[in-house]
Amino acid sequence: MGVILLALVVLSIIIWLGLLCFRGQFWLLDQQLEVEKLHTTSLPRVCAVIPARNEAELLPISLRSLLLQDYPGSLEVFLVDDRSTDGTANFAEGVAYALDKSQQLHIISGEPLPPGWSGKLWAVEQGIKNATKLTPDYYFLTDADIEHDVNSLCRLVAKAEQENLDLVSVMVRLRCQSYWEKLLIPAFVFFFQKLYPFRWVNNPKNPTAAAAGGSILIRREALERIGGIQAIRQALIDDCALAAAVKRSGVEEDARTWGRSDAEIFSFPASPRLPMSVSSPRGRIWLGLSTLTHSLRPYNSLATIWDMVARTAYTQLNYSPLLLLGTLVGMTLIYLVPPIGVMLGVVWRNWGILFTGLFAWLLMTLAYYPTIRFYKCSFWFALSLPAIAFLYTLMTLDSALRHWQGRGGNWKGRVYPNTNNS
């Protein structure tokens, strides 16, 4: 038994060394928008689109921050009231009126949700449909719970213009004030970056694609090229689906340049014959972190964070029982085996298991610490990663159970049919 456990702990160490050295250095958190020196002389027209369903409580802060952007170019804001029952539209009008920005704000009454659409994307589609009449250069897709730094849009536009990007997105700083937020929210960011290393996302030679839905700047031509929001209309993880479609569009253009067939193109990323390098200016995306723009959404209890994760965790696994099983085994091996080795090493007085377990635990703590520091939490939370990972493993399992029971994708009072969007 001791030999098996020692082998598992050693395997965990090997995996952690691989993650630290060969997974795009995701743990360094070095892709941050505000640390770059950005400047542009062009002033493209931007239309912001905000889907809002029962967001009256947060709009006085979030909408105000958007209307007060220090952006010298043209900015129009389209807020889609997604059949709210709390007076969302009235609050939005009041915010704009108080700032003398009523002409800049366009409020759209949402139409009933048609079959085959997620609620948020249907609202975004209606906002874009109205914004298109102004022929903007960019759409700025954001959420009603985001408080933007005053220079946020300027930085996003400068980044897109300077580097000729089709899509620029930042993962805003999530709220991290309550105990449960400090325990679990930094880990959410850590796991997301491990799944989608930002360096890989930002590398046009790598097929990895992701975005963060709270702040996405996308070129109008890029959105039209992929077929509009309709192309991802059923996606619950809509931000990553949008980024994948945009990045893929650049590969498709290169593929046609190289004379590839449609069958090869649409096998991306499986076909090794497709050029992985996006040599054309189209399809380039960038994803980073923001230290100044942040989410207002509170997660004061374990239950609220649990529901947030369980809503889409099984979707992320493409509703695959095999991927679920692999995830459960992987999480156990990577995060739980080391502390188990430490505890059993003490009980058995097996110093080999004890010290290898401690070494594996140290590796994961070192990997997690930059995220803990980014969120200004105590170092002791970094040592708690095994327990945190155990909770996330249970959330993922619960997400699958909800899917099997027909309760998956519950959000804002709606339960969406479970659809494989791969």
| Interval 40-96: pLDDT, tens | 788 999 999 999 999 999 999 999 999 999 999 999 999 999 999 999 999 999 999
Nearest one of 294, 293, 283 to 202, comparing CA atoms? 283
pLDDT of residue 280: 58
Helix axis angle, 302-310 relative to 179-195, nearest 10°?
20
Helix axes 179-195 and 351-374, enclosed angle (nearest 10): 100
pLDDT higher than 50, residue 273 = no
Q: Quick one: CA torsion of 380, 385, 387, 391, rounded to 10 degrees?
A: 130
Lowest mean pLDDT among 136-145, 153-162, 394-403, 412-421: 412-421
Cβ pair 73, 43 in contact under 8 A: yes
pLDDT of residue 271: 35
Q: Where are the beta strands (DSSP E) in 75-234?
A: 75-81, 105-109, 138-142, 146-147, 167-173, 215-219
Q: Name residue 49's beta-bridge partners.
A: 78, 141
Mean pLDDT of 136-144: 98
